[in-house]
Amino acid sequence: MIVALDNTFLSLLMNPNTLPTPNPTTGKPVDYCALRVEALIDTHSRKGDTVLIPTPCLAEMLCIVPDFEKAITEIGKSAALEIAPFDARCAIDLAHITRSSIASGDKKSGQMIPWQQVKFDRQIAVIAKTSRAEVFYTDDAAQTVFAQKIGLNVKHTWDLDLPPKYAQTSLEIETS
């Protein structure tokens, strides 16, 4: 299986100072968010899956990690993590999508964000799509809308299971 991470997941994985995005339903960050992402990557790694890191996400993450070299080394050591470039095929697919959006009169695909961010988000999602990712992990609301629009199955941190060692076990009380 091939999956892809956006910057929100990659930052949680690589930067201990990253604050999780609040769950839109509760307005609160997910408990043990970074551990959920680590467990997700471990699960995909054990299965032999490929976890793509689109190059624009890599650039974003490398700007904020405390130790640039350590982050690059960790990605390089991982059997599951693979850097996915924005190549000619991505450029062609992105051009078709953007031209279609402009022709429909909705250049930003309904997003109320700056045009530069729309273009960046589209690059990331198109990299995942052209690389045949089956799941795209993001907590970014605008990114979610666009990724779903091009047919990606999107998952968020609040969709991830809590690793069993952190989940509360049931308490059995003996009655006399």
Which pLDDT score, from 0 to 100, does residue 113 have?
87
Which pLDDT score, from 0 to 100, does residue 71 have?
92
CATH number at residue 52: 3.40.50.1010
Residue ranges of the chain with per-residue pLDDT less than 70: 166-176
Domain count, the chain: 1
- pTM equals 0.89
Gap between the Cα atoms of 29 and 23, Å rounded: 6
Residue 152 falls inside a structural domain: yes
Which pLDDT score, from 0 to 100, does residue 172 have?
57
Which pLDDT score, from 0 to 100, does residue 176 have?
53
Domain of residue 64 covers 2-159
Long-range CB contacts for residues 111-115, cutoff 8 Å, separation at least 24: 111/142, 111/145, 111/146, 113/142
The three-state secondary structure class of 76 is helix
Q: pLDDT per residue over 80-129, tens digit each?
A: 999 999 999 999 999 999 999 899 998 888 878 888 888 899 999 999 99
